[in-house]
Amino acid sequence: MIFEGTPTGEGLHVAIVVARWNALITRALLDGATDALRRHGVADADVDVAWVPGSFEIPLAARWLAGTGRYDAVVCLGAVIRGATPHFDHIAAAAMQGVAAAARETGVPITAGILTTDTADQALQRAGIKGGNKGAEAAVAAIEMATLGRRIAEGRR
């Protein structure tokens, strides 16, 4: 049997965690994510958003949301920009590894639209200012994983 998720979000409940740090960029990611969820059939009323201070705090909020059992998937959005700070690698790694751990612990799909870039300009480009929006990609990946999980659990294609 071959299992595959689909980009059909009808009836799904989705939570979004978004970091306030670099808010100009993360708001664009949030716009991309909510727009993608809507276009793929997720009802606005079935989408909840939780703001956290920075990307370092994303995993805990994602874990809390996933742990409620109310959501089919959680989408995480942040922007870690290298600039001149040695903190960059630590924050980026903690955010990504923490998100992965929260997904494993709960069994709820949690996707990461967390940008890690050298400059704010690069982050803006990946937040849909000129083209693709990584928030939208993370939202569609969440829908795909939620539908894949259902199909695997039910043993059907």
Q: Which residues are catalytic?
A: 87
Give the shortest CB-112-to-ligand RBF separation in angstroms. Answer: 12
Name which of 57 and 137 has its Cβ closer to ligand RBF.
Answer: 57
Give the shortest CB-47-to-ligand RBF separation in angstroms. Answer: 21
Q: Does 91 bind ligand RBF (CB under 6 A)?
A: yes
Q: Does 16 bind ligand RBF (CB under 6 A)?
A: no
Cβ neighbours of 118 (radius 10 Å): 11
Q: Does 81 bind ligand RBF (CB under 6 A)?
A: yes
| Residue from the set 12, 14, 19, 62 that interacts with ligand RBF by CB under 6 A | 19
Tokens of 39: 């276009």
Torsion, Cα of 97, 8, 147, 47 (10° steps): 50
Longest dimension (CA), the chain: 50
Q: Does 13 bind ligand RBF (CB under 6 A)?
A: no
Per-residue binding string, ligand RBF, 54-73, x by CB under 6 A, is xxxx----------------
Tell me the HSE value of 70 on the side-chain side, using a 13 A CA sphere.
Answer: 11
Name which of 84 and 153 has its Cβ closer to ligand RBF.
Answer: 84
Q: How far apart are the first and last CA of the chain?
A: 8
DSSP output for 52-68: ESSGGGHHHHHHHHHHT
- Per CB under 6 A, the segment of 3-11, 17-25, 100-108, 142-150 that binds ligand RBF is 17-25
47 forms bridges with which residues in the sheet? 14
In whole angstroms, give the CA distance from residue 53 to residue 67. Answer: 20
Q: Which residues bind ligand RBF (CB under 6 A)?
A: 19, 21-22, 53-57, 78-81, 85, 87, 91
